[in-house]
Amino acid sequence: MIIRCPPFTIHHYPTIGSTQDELKRLVGAPEFTCVTADEQTAGRGRRARAWLSTPGDGLYLSVLLRPALPPELFPLVSLMAAVAVAEAVTGQGAAPVDIKWPNDVLVGERKLSGILVEGASGVAGAARVILGIGVNLNHRGFPAELAATATSLALVTGRAADPAACRDEVLSRLARWYEVLGRDAGAVRARWAELSSYARGAEVAVTLDGRRVVGVTDGITEAGALRLRTPGGEVRTVLAGEVSRLRKSGDA
């Protein structure tokens, strides 16, 4: 089924392996082509993890973008998407919403949404990305391995989420923030920092070059990398990796 949701054209499937893979198969598709599904049988997340994609329980969405950015700023696409999703789920009643660097959308330190940005081969050198967004909507519980770390919109609001309304709100915020990203990347960085308690002053641990490094976050770079001030006073730049909070600054 094709759904028009300007500027997006959505190809919707009842069931699919992964919306990311289906979009990669739509060779030559224009920017803003979007694939959604009620269920994914091979949904995947970052670091080759599976993404729980049971029927009707989540928003499973991938969109093809061709960012008008120098390639070194492409990492900002994932921060921009987190801003869009954080605002959208807030609009759907989730609170208080946080963003864990770079792009996990959390409520009460539990993950409500995950974002996966993958490269797609461009036509005539045009750089394209496939932005994948998963939002937990109607799960009433999670498998044991996720039970302590995941949540859903239904669990945080106490009422069933409307998948079409959530999709439309995510896409409308995405269209807005993607347009801002193309003309004023600083505004995206600023909004990300406003929404993320991890942006500054968070005591975190991260694995860098195979070693666990602890430090206090000190903003993001122009390209969206996380700056981490170590106990020795050195500032490390984290380009990729899993950040975990040790405790909030100022906690007893």
Interface contacts to ligand BTN, rule CB under 6 A: 18-20, 40, 43-46, 49, 51, 60-62, 104, 114-116, 132-134
- Least Å distance, CB 70 to ligand BTN, is 25
Bridge partners of 119, per DSSP, are: 129
Contact 59, 36 (CB under 8 A): yes
Q: How far is the CB of 112 from ligand BTN (least distance, A)?
A: 11
CB of 129 to ligand BTN, least distance (A): 13
Distance (Å, whole) CA 102 – CA 80: 10
**Least CB distance to ligand BTN at residue 47 (A):** 7
Least distance in angstroms from the C-beta of 101 to ligand BTN: 12
Q: Which residue has the tokens 């699919």?
A: 16
User: How many CB atoms are located within 10 Å of the residue 82 CB?
Assistant: 27
Nearer to ligand BTN, 36 or 92 (CB): 36
Q: Of the two residues 132 and 215, which places its CB atom closer to ligand BTN in the complex?
A: 132
- 3-class SS at 219? strand
Would you say 42 or 246 has its CB closer to ligand BTN?
Answer: 42
Instruction: Give least dist CB 102 to ligand BTN, A.
Output: 10
C-alpha 28/C-alpha 32 separation (Å) is: 12
Cβ-based nearer residue to ligand BTN, 62 or 92: 62
245, with CB counted inside 10 A (0-12, 13-18, 19+), is middle
Q: Which residue, 62 or 217, has its beta carbon nearer to ligand BTN?
A: 62
The residue nearest ligand BTN at its CB is 114
Q: Tell me the residue ranges of DSSP E strands in the chain.
A: 2-5, 8-16, 33-40, 58-65, 97-100, 104-107, 110-120, 128-136, 200-208, 211-220, 226-229, 235-238, 243-248
When the beta carbons of 53 and 217 are compared against ligand BTN, the nearer one is: 53
